[in-house]
Amino acid sequence: MTAEEYLTLDRVAERRSEFNDGEMILREGANRRHSTVTVNLIGELGRSLRGNFCELFGSDLRLRVSPRMYAYPDLTAVCGKPLLADDREDILLNPTAIFEVLSLPPNITIASSSFSTTLESSRSRITS
């Protein structure tokens, strides 16, 4: 599948898909914790960026990562003027920062003990 074919299909689809090297991948829905973390991140970044020349975009705006990859990150920041692919204004080309909230299963094992401790500490704060 070409990027053009992907864009034609995705623009009319009921559910969004991402595109990676010729493959169209249906996006999964988020769970409650994922949504809570994303909303909190948007709030914090919004306060931090207030008064700057930056804009935040949620997961409904498509990002062209490369000519062979399009994604819908949880949150994208652009400092300066956003560059959009065309008049539809549905493909962002110049992200300053991309944020993707990772939803890890509770029983995941991390090799690094310091990262594992940090991960467990973060889980405690999120679930408390």
Q: What is the pLDDT along the chain (128 residues), one digit of tens a residue?
A: 999 999 999 999 999 999 999 999 998 888 888 899 999 999 999 998 888 899 999 999 999 999 999 999 999 999 999 999 999 999 999 999 999 988 766 666 555 544 444 444 444 444 33
Beta bridge partners of 66: 69
pTM: 0.76
Reading phi first (left if > 0) and then psi (alpha if -120 to 50, else beta), residue 26 is in beta
Of 127, 118, 126, 128, the closest CA to residue 41 belongs to 126
Give me the domain span that covers residue 25: 3-127
**What's the domain count of the chain?**
1
Output the CA angle 88-14-35, nearest 5 degrees: 90
Question: 3-class SS at 14?
Answer: coil
CATH code assigned at 64: 3.90.1570.10
